[in-house]
Structure 1
Amino acid sequence: MNQPLAERLRPQNLDHYFGQEHLVGPNGPIRKMIENKSVSSFILWGPPGVGKTTLAKIVARLLERPFYELSAINSGVKDVREVIDKAKKQRFFDTPNPILFIDEIHRFSKAQQDSLLGAVEQGVVTLIGATTENPSFEVISPLLSRCQVYVLKHVDASVLKKIVDRALDEDRYLASLSVEIKEYEALLRFSGGDVRKLLNVIEIVVNAMVSQNDTDKLVIDNDAVQKNLQENLALYDKKGEMHYDIISAFIKSVRGGDPDASVYYLARMLEGGEDVKFISRRLVILASEDIGLANPNALLLANATFDAVHKVGMPESRILLSECTIYLATSPKSNSAYSAINEAIAEVRRTGHLPVPLHLRNAPTKLMSDLGYKKGYKYSHAYDGNFADQQFLPEGLQNGRFYTPQENAQEKKILERLRKWWKSRF
């Protein structure tokens, strides 16, 4: 009972590893690596609590490899080199190389990642990294090119229920109690697809009910979960479990034009130890998705903030992030670019087979020219106002509309220009 439930129930094999069938199912690439007794370096990218660390440990156990584990939060170049030195000393003929697991590898600096590169290239260690961030942003190219990236998904409700049932049946302490899950909704809602959070919630609720219940049976329903989590909120949130709620509130506050709420949730994230690079990346997305063409300078400022945060670090980055957050919150808003690309993608999925009009195609050979490629194309700069009325969309989509200017000063000017060019089409 000294171990948390999530640790007591950590799967030891693939049969108990639920929710990532695309990786560990019968035809999954990681299962095949294990079956072939050979593993190459890879990075596991996915949200918190879906089993990245567990999967790395299962791979090492089933392949009978030595397993070294480092966390990028509290490890430096010295720690990496010490592990590599240990691995070198343990090398013998035909001895498989150990696995080095680095949790939150996206937090490693370039120098720290560089210190790994030689050992990975030479096969001194097989690297398994885990990250909640897109590795193409945070992992250096030479290291990324030597690793396969596997994406882990949020665990769905049916799998979470299966994990709850396993906990009640197989955990020695929970099995000694008489526990009935009458309603799952609150358990699943508070977990947010995070298995570790789910097991933490069950443990908190059961322990609270045991301490206050004299009956032989514990009935867990939505009210019981809500009541006991509210009373034990500090315990529930001690490791930043509200991460996604806070970032959601931050995004919605910026989108909603409230600079005070926006900077408040920014402060909540900073005080909670959130990675400033993660925040700055969200600001870039916000600038494009929610402000867009209503104020194109927003994206320039957000991108400059992203670059500056990477150079400056904390505590000064708080000022850069505050400036950008307030600017975005107080900017006019438009999601026209976001809507346009979504509608265009939807149309492509329906009609993506339509041929490109002949006059828009290049004609690098005589045959293509004879077939009419490029014939009739009007070079816009050769016409008054640098515009020539011609058809650009494929036949069948002549009147297709994806971009709709919205009601803001910037896009009113765009609409005026489009109407001058295209007349009644806009």
Structure 2
Amino acid sequence: MDAPLAERLRPQNLDEFLGQNKILGQQSLLRKSLENDSIPSMIFWGPPGCGKTSLAHVIRQHTKKRFVALSAVASGVKEVKEVLADARQMKKAFMDTILFIDEIHRFNKGQQDALLGAVEDGTVTLIGATTENPGFEVNGALLSRCQLILFAPLSKEDLRTLIFSALRDHPRGLQLKDVEVEDSVVDKLIAQSEGDARFLLNQLEWIGKNLGDNKKIDEKLLEEFQYKKPLRYDKSGEEHYNLISALHKSVRGSDPDAALYWLHRMLQGGEDPRFILRRLMRMSMEDVGLADPNALLLATSAREAYDFMGIPEGLIALDELAIYLALAPKSNSIELAGMKADSIVKQTGTLPVPRAYRNSVTRVGKQLGYGNGYEYDHDSPGGYSAQEHLPTQLVGTTIYEPKPYGREKALGEKLAQLKQLKKERQEKEGK
């Protein structure tokens, strides 16, 4: 039985390799290393179908060194240790080993640690391929001993070339030389593949093998065969953090269109709506804050509405909240005040509570004068005594600084009035 089209079309040498001109250009260091058979240990990082495994295949075809391939899905510590033991024996016979591990992000810490010494002492040259951010998924010690090679999604031009090569020109392709393909079909296939050559070739193979007597691939025919490429989304990996970051920054940047887009990208990718609600609630406090206190009320109401109604109706509450937060006045004064308070406490330690504000309910407390000098604000003119409540060493310190936006502007004006009254009292008392 023939291998799948994507496997048959794997490049056999660098001249057949499609795309990645930035890292494999004629004068690139990586290309020279491949041609000289002197590659270092490397981590290939990029989206699916961009050529990571294909480049490893080219290296295998070109190198004079022993090449061993493992899949992190099917291999464990036992298999890794066996390969490393064999590599040490081969090194004694002056034969170096290249170890390729596909989907290396699926190895746990223990499995990755087993590779560390062998990479460090040159027992093997490691090539790891991953679709996930190595900063999250590869041990820092191992990553520091490897060159990080970034792969990009294939360009539209590369994918267009691949379509016609696979259909007509490539000797290992479909050989459908007399089949016409509408330009709109080519454009749709390219757009839907999102830079993923493997997905594109799988589509072409499915269509090509079921054309029957058709000599033209048009949009009508395409609709019969085409299936939707799943959105790339990992609820615990880098894409998870990238998308929630984009949503948060869109809300902070008062862009409701972008906020809705990233929100629904996450929902369609399978994210738990409650996770998004928690983040939106955080935005209502962190980015809107006292500029619009209703934001937090709406956030808690949205959570209740979603929990009560569920999917799909409850998702409207997320849309409403995202739009409201995006268009609300913004203030991060609460977050800044909290960070400043933390910093002051860390710097000054456990300063004593002023005696006037200590609890005087015990006999010892009363003997020590706890509560003496405290003025009950409700008995003061305007309900404000203008006392200084901070520890003596911090008198005059400003922690909360209101922003002049939304409702917080009025809070700032109120605070300024109170500070003026306190200043007048201090001047009157000669402080």
Which range, TM-score by smaller chain? 0.5 to 0.7
* 1:19 shift after superposition: 1.4
1:293 maps to a residue whose letter is: M
1:244 counterpart = 2:243: no
Could you say which residue in structure 2 is the equivalent of 1:120? Answer: 119
* 1:418 shift after superposition: 7.0
* 1:112 shift after superposition: 0.5
The 1:11–1:293 alpha-carbon spacing in structure 2 relative to 1, beyond 3 Å, is same
SS of 1:90's partner is helix
String of CA shifts for 1:300-329, please: whole Å, max 9, x gaps.
Answer: xxxxxxxxxxxxxxxxxxxxxxxxxx9x95
1:208 maps to a residue whose letter is: N
The equivalences for 1:49-88 within 5 A come to 49-88=49-88
Could you say which residue in structure 2 is the equivalent of 1:188? Answer: 190
Which of 221, 226, 245 aligns to 1:224? It is 221
2:232 maps to a residue whose letter is: Y
- Write the distance in 1 (CA, Å) between the matches of 2:274 and 2:100: 31
* 1:172 shift after superposition: 4.3
- Write the distance in 2 (CA, Å) between the matches of 1:108 and 1:156: 30
The 1:88–1:174 alpha-carbon spacing in structure 2 relative to 1, beyond 3 Å, is same
- Write the distance in 1 (CA, Å) between the matches of 2:147 and 2:12: 23
1:242 maps to a residue whose letter is: P
* 1:24 shift after superposition: 0.6
- Write the distance in 1 (CA, Å) between the matches of 2:117 and 2:32: 27
String of CA shifts for 1:124-183, please: whole Å, max 9, x gaps.
Answer: 111111111110111111101101111111111111011112212014462255222222
1:294 counterpart = 2:284: yes
* 1:67 shift after superposition: 1.7
The 1:75–1:94 alpha-carbon spacing in structure 2 relative to 1, beyond 3 Å, is closer
2:165 maps to a residue whose letter is: R
Could you say which residue in structure 2 is the equivalent of 1:98? Answer: 97
SS of 2:128's partner is strand
Q: Is the 8 A contact 1:102 1:128 kept in 2?
A: yes
The 1:126–1:293 alpha-carbon spacing in structure 2 relative to 1, beyond 3 Å, is same
- Write the distance in 2 (CA, Å) between the matches of 1:286 and 1:151: 33
1:207 maps to a residue whose letter is: K
- Write the distance in 2 (CA, Å) between the matches of 1:22 and 1:404: 48
* 1:37 shift after superposition: 2.7
String of CA shifts for 1:366-393, please: whole Å, max 9, x gaps.
Answer: xxxxxxxxxxxxxxx886645899xxxx
Q: Is the 8 A contact 1:69 1:101 kept in 2?
A: yes
1:196 maps to a residue whose letter is: R
The 1:263–1:173 alpha-carbon spacing in structure 2 relative to 1, beyond 3 Å, is closer
Could you say which residue in structure 1 is the equivalent of 2:158? Answer: 159
String of CA shifts for 1:70-93, please: whole Å, max 9, x gaps.
Answer: 111221111111111222222245
Q: Is the 8 A contact 1:292 1:336 kept in 2?
A: no
Q: Is the 8 A contact 1:110 1:140 kept in 2?
A: yes
Q: Is the 8 A contact 1:295 1:331 kept in 2?
A: no
CA-atom RMSD in angstroms:
4.6
SS of 1:3's partner is coil
SS of 1:146's partner is coil
String of CA shifts for 1:26-48, please: whole Å, max 9, x gaps.
Answer: 12232021133311101011100
- The count of residues paired between Structure 1 and Structure 2 equals 307
1:39 maps to a residue whose letter is: I
1:206 maps to a residue whose letter is: G
1:90 maps to a residue whose letter is: M
- Write the distance in 2 (CA, Å) between the matches of 1:246 and 1:113: 21
- Write the distance in 2 (CA, Å) between the matches of 1:404 and 1:131: 47
- Write the distance in 2 (CA, Å) between the matches of 1:284 and 1:147: 35
Among all aligned residue pairs of Structure 1 and Structure 2, give the percentage whose two residues are the same amino acid: 36
Q: Which has the larger radius of gyration?
A: 2
The equivalences for 1:325-404 within 5 A come to 332-333=321-322, 334=325, 385-386=398-399
Q: Is the 8 A contact 2:42 2:146 kept in 1?
A: yes
- Write the distance in 2 (CA, Å) between the matches of 1:43 and 1:404: 49
The 1:415–1:182 alpha-carbon spacing in structure 2 relative to 1, beyond 3 Å, is farther
- Write the distance in 1 (CA, Å) between the matches of 2:224 and 2:233: 19
* 1:284 shift after superposition: 8.4
The 1:224–1:114 alpha-carbon spacing in structure 2 relative to 1, beyond 3 Å, is same
* 1:186 shift after superposition: 1.8
SS of 1:99's partner is strand
SS of 2:44's partner is strand
- Write the distance in 2 (CA, Å) between the matches of 1:134 and 1:195: 20
SS of 1:85's partner is helix
1:222 maps to a residue whose letter is: E
* 1:260 shift after superposition: 12
* 1:63 shift after superposition: 2.3
Could you say which residue in structure 1 is the equivalent of 2:206? Answer: 204
Could you say which residue in structure 1 is the equivalent of 2:30? Answer: 30
The 1:415–1:242 alpha-carbon spacing in structure 2 relative to 1, beyond 3 Å, is farther
Q: Is the 8 A contact 1:44 1:150 kept in 2?
A: yes
TM-score (norm 2): 0.59
Runs of 4+ with deviation above 3 angstroms? 245-257, 259-266, 282-288, 328-337, 381-389, 412-422
Q: Is the 8 A contact 2:71 2:102 kept in 1?
A: yes
SS of 2:145's partner is coil
Q: Is the 8 A contact 1:291 1:331 kept in 2?
A: no
1:36 maps to a residue whose letter is: N
| Structure 2: runs of 5 or more not aligned | 249-258, 288-314, 332-393, 417-431
Could you say which residue in structure 2 is the equivalent of 1:370? Answer: none
String of CA shifts for 1:224-254, please: whole Å, max 9, x gaps.
Answer: 222222xxx4xxx7xxx51428989997999
2:283 maps to a residue whose letter is: L
